[in-house]
Structure 1
Amino acid sequence: MFTLTSELLLTLFASSWIFVLCQETQEVTVKAGEDATLQCYGGVNISLIAWSRTDLTDDGYVFFFSDSRSWEDEQHPSFHGRVNLSDPEMTDGDASVILMNVQTTDNGTYECSTGEKNKKKQEKLMIIRLTVTVSGFLCAPQVIRQGDKRSASKRQALNGE
Structure 2
Amino acid sequence: MFWFKPQLRSLSAFVFHHAVFLLLIRSCAGLSQVIVPMQPIVVTIGDDIILPCHLEPATDAVAMTCEWSRSDLNPRFVHVWHEREELVINQHPSYKGRTSLSTNKLKLGDISLKLSGVKLSDNGTYKCFIPELRTESTIKLVVGLASSPVINLAGNDRDTGAVVLECESKGWYPEPEVLWLDGEGNLLSAGPTETVRGPDDLYTVSSRVTVEKRHSNSFTCRVQQNNINQTREAHTC
One-letter code aligned to 2:140: R
Checking the alignment, whether the CA contact within 8 Å between 1:64 and 1:75 is kept in structure 2 is yes
After TM superposition, the structure 1 = structure 2 runs for residues 5-84 of structure 1, keeping only pairs within 5 Å, are 24=36, 25-42=38-55, 43-46=59-62, 47-56=64-73, 58-84=74-100
Query: Equivalents in 2 of 1:134, 1:95: separation in Å?
Result: 27
Report the CA distance shift for 1:94/1:83 in structure 2 as closer, same or farther (over 3 A): same
Where structure 2 has 5 or more consecutive residues not aligned to the other structure, the ranges are 1-34, 148-168, 171-203, 207-233
Q: Which has the higher strand share?
A: 2
Query: Over aligned residues, Cα RMSD in angstroms?
Result: 2.7
Structure number with the bigger relative contact order (C-alpha 8 A, sep ≥ 6) is 1
Checking the alignment, whether the CA contact within 8 Å between 2:61 and 2:107 is kept in structure 1 is no
One-letter code aligned to 1:67: E
Deviation at 1:88, TM superposition (A): 2.0
Deviation at 1:45, TM superposition (A): 3.9
Deviation at 1:159, TM superposition (A): 9.1
Checking the alignment, whether the CA contact within 8 Å between 1:54 and 1:108 is kept in structure 2 is no
* Partner SS state of residue 110, structure 1: strand
Kindly report structure 1 stretches of 4+ aligned residues shifted beyond 3 Å.
23-26, 158-161
> What is the aligned partner in structure 1 of residue 143 from structure 2?
132
One-letter code aligned to 2:103: P
Query: Equivalents in 2 of 1:45, 1:31: separation in Å?
Result: 30
TM-score computed with the length of structure 2 as normaliser: 0.44
Establish whether residue 106 from structure 1 lines up as the match of residue 119 from structure 2.
no
Checking the alignment, whether the CA contact within 8 Å between 1:111 and 1:128 is kept in structure 2 is yes
Deviation at 1:104, TM superposition (A): 1.2
Where structure 1 has 5 or more consecutive residues not aligned to the other structure, the ranges are 1-22, 142-157
* Partner SS state of residue 65, structure 1: strand
TM-score computed with the length of structure 1 as normaliser: 0.64
* Partner SS state of residue 103, structure 2: coil
Q: Which has the higher helix share?
A: 1
Query: Equivalents in 2 of 1:45, 1:133: separation in Å?
Result: 32
Query: Equivalents in 2 of 1:109, 1:51: separation in Å?
Result: 10
